[in-house]
């Protein structure tokens, strides 16, 4: 597995540049190179997740070995948690790209689209894999700049306005992150995540340590659109072309925001209960405010974007509960349960939220509107879109047998076992409001009286779009298998172990 690690970054980067060069000679070059690149990446990521088996693998770029036990090279680290997130990025990316083949042909300059898409995937893979803070920053910027351009891909009024907002706030987030990295380097004199833990862990200066944590929390919180920092998300995610919305909501906010937050707070900082309480509060706020902002929306994609904030709140909440319990040192098994619920929900959210955005794109492709009041009766006209969006809506609202039910159940059980009764109650109530909001979506889009006189024009979307939606719909059902203990032990438990057992990550990288 070790020599395959750099492929996750090298292949999409090469794909991005090849697309532009080949595009000069062949008109459709981008489509095929893009599909080929993402197919390779999806296959390698599935292989990685299947074979990693609880180990932590470190790839040293250029073969720079540590000197006197101090790592000096660039490290790429692969463990079970990384492998899961890589699977999400590359599989959702592949399906979104298949969908784009027909969807994006409405726009001009298709080749630039595929090139930027590959760059975005390269950036996200890099963020997830890199083992030092500065490379996380660099790859984060690659992914962000590609996504700024992709949000503005239609160059209409709304897209430009949304991308300007997104860029200013994204730029602010990058500055906060860079400032935090500078403060860390000032004291620790190293950038390697495992080494920082050793260098700062022994005797941290309390104020300095807290300032760093707050800076990085707000920086990555901005990228993840946690509630006080959420203003850009509904605009950016609803203005982008639909496959890009699916990538942004389904993958980018997780890889660039939540993943890095989880990674640095568990593997780099020593968890303190004040920060853990702060993170849990932010999660609970996102959950509640996100869903209340969503319920009044009539634009489908804005509705879905606000639900992303709310669902990410679940992930942050459960990870926060795990952190509080770990910081107190009581009930480690409940902490493990809470974190596993959070990561399970992260995976599930990638499946159902990207599916919902693809559905919204399919509806827009045929009816030309995103306003729920102008649609109706689509269930008979677009059967595949209607049935897959029903699966996704039920998943996100937590109805059994779909995947969202199991992850929400685990989160709520963990909250009750950890004696956070109020948070458990909030989680249940938010889930019910989510259900109400999605019943509204289903009723107005698919089951209401049809808009008169449009029946002949509206039919099912072309095959590539249906294909992606059906595969994601199947994934929504199949992912609930992760709740079965044997399968959970294979994929989720080792991923949690890397986070809860700090020795495992640090010792492998430093070679102790």
Partner 1 sequence: MTVYILCFILFLVGLYGAITRRNLVKIVISLSVMEFSVFLFLALIGYVEGGSAPIIDPAKPDALYVDPLPQAMVLTAIVIGLATTAMLMSVIIRIYRKYKTLDIREIKNLRG
**Interacting residue ranges for partner 1, rule: CB under 8 A:** 134, 137-138, 141, 145, 148-149, 152, 155-158, 160-165, 167-168, 171-172, 174-175, 178-179, 181-182, 185-186, 189, 191, 235, 239, 296-297, 302
Whose Cβ is closer to partner 1: residue 43's or residue 168's? 168
What are 449's strand-pairing partners? none
Q: Smallest gap, in angstroms, from Cβ of residue 493 to partner 1?
A: 37
Residue 58: is it exposed, middle or buried by C-beta count within 10 angstroms (0-12/13-18/19+)? buried
CA distance 97 to 114: 8
Question: Per the structure block, which two tokens stand in for 112?
Answer: 């630039």
Helix (H) and strand (E) counts for the chain? 21, 2
Instruction: Let me know: does 138 contact 211? Beta carbons within 8 Å.
Output: no
Q: Smallest gap, in angstroms, from Cβ of residue 445 to partner 1?
A: 19
Whose Cβ is closer to partner 1: residue 190's or residue 407's? 190
Q: Smallest gap, in angstroms, from Cβ of residue 311 to partner 1?
A: 20
Whose Cβ is closer to partner 1: residue 40's or residue 295's? 295
Which residues lie below 8 Å from residue 422, measured CB to CB, with a gap of 6+? none
Whose Cβ is closer to partner 1: residue 170's or residue 361's? 170
Whose Cβ is closer to partner 1: residue 185's or residue 447's? 185
Q: Smallest gap, in angstroms, from Cβ of residue 173 to partner 1?
A: 11
CA distance 499 to 505: 8
What are 371's strand-pairing partners? 299
Q: Smallest gap, in angstroms, from Cβ of residue 364 to partner 1?
A: 17
User: Residue 77 belongs to what H/E stretch?
Assistant: strand 74-78
What are 77's strand-pairing partners? 58
CA distance 83 to 48: 6
Q: Smallest gap, in angstroms, from Cβ of residue 296 to partner 1?
A: 8
CA distance 301 to 243: 12
Q: Smallest gap, in angstroms, from Cβ of residue 157 to partner 1?
A: 5
Q: Smallest gap, in angstroms, from Cβ of residue 179 to partner 1?
A: 5
Q: How far is CA 156 from CA 217, 282, 365, in A?
A: 33, 34, 17
Whose Cβ is closer to partner 1: residue 148's or residue 266's? 148
Instruction: Let me know: does 85 contact 254? Beta carbons within 8 Å.
Output: yes
Which DSSP string corresponds to 202-236? Answer: SS--HHHHHHHHHHHHHHHHHHHT-GGG-THHHHH
Whose Cβ is closer to partner 1: residue 119's or residue 394's? 119
Instruction: Let me know: does 351 contact 379? Beta carbons within 8 Å.
Output: no
Whose Cβ is closer to partner 1: residue 151's or residue 288's? 151
């Amino acid at each position: 597995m070790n020599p395959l690690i750099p492929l996750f970054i090298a292949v999409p980067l090469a794909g991005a540049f090849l697309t532009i060069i080949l595009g000069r000679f062949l008109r459709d070059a981008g489509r095929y190179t893009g599909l080929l690149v993402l197919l390779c990446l999806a296959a390698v990521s599935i292989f990685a997740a299947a074979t990693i088996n609880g180990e932590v693998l470190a790839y040293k770029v250029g073969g720079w070995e540590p000197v006197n036990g101090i790592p000096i090279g660039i490290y790429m680290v692969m463990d079970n948690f990384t492998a899961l997130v890589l699977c999400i990025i590359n599989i959702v990316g592949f399906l979104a790209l298949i969908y784009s083949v027909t969807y994006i042909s409405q726009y001009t300059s298709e080749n630039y689209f595929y090139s930027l898409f590959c760059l975005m995937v390269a950036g996200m893979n890099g963020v997830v894999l890199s083992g030092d803070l500065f490379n996380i920053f660099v790859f984060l910027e690659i992914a962000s700049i590609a996504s700024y351009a992709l949000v503005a891909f239609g160059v209409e009024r709304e897209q430009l306005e949304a991308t300007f907002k997104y860029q200013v706030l994204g730029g602010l987030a990058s500055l906060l992150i860079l400032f935090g990295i500078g403060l860390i380097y000032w004291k620790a004199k190293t950038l390697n995540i495992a080494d920082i833990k050793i260098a700062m862990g022994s005797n941290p200066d309390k104020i300095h340590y807290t300032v760093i944590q707050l800076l990085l929390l707000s920086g990555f919180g901005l990228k993840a659109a946690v509630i006080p920092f959420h203003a850009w998300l509904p605009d950016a995610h609803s203005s982008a072309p639909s496959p890009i919305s699916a990538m942004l909501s389904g993958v980018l906010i997780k890889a660039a925001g939540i993943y890095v937050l989880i990674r640095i707070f568990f593997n780099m900082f020593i968890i303190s209960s004040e920060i853990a309480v702060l993170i849990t509060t932010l999660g609970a706020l996102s959950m509640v405010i996100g869903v209340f902002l969503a319920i009044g929306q009539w634009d489908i994609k804005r509705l879905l974007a606000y639900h992303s904030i709310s669902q990410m709140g679940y992930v942050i909440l459960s990870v926060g509960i795990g952190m509080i319990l770990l910081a107190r040192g009581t009930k480690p098994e409940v902490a493990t349960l809470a974190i596993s619920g959070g990561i399970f929900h992260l995976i599930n959210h990638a499946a159902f939220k990207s599916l919902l955005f693809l559905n919204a794109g399919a509806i827009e492709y045929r009816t030309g509107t995103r306003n729920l009041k102008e649609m109706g009766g689509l269930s008979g006209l677009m059967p595949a879109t209607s049935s897959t969006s029903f699966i996704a809506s039920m998943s996100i609202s937590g109805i059994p047998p779909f995947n969202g039910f199991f992850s929400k159940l685990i989160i709520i059980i963990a909250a009750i076992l950890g004696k956070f009764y109020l948070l458990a109650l909030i989680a249940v109530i938010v889930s019910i409001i989510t259900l109400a909001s999605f019943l509204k979506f289903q009723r107005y889009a698919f089951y209401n009286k049809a808009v008169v006189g449009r029946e002949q024009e509206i039919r099912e979307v072309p095959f590539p779009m249906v294909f992606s939606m059906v595969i994601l719909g199947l994934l929504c059902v199949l992912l609930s298998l992760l709740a079965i203990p044997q399968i959970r032990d294979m994929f989720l438990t080792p991923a949690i172990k890397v986070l809860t057992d700090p020795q495992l990550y640090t010792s492998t990288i430093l070679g102790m």
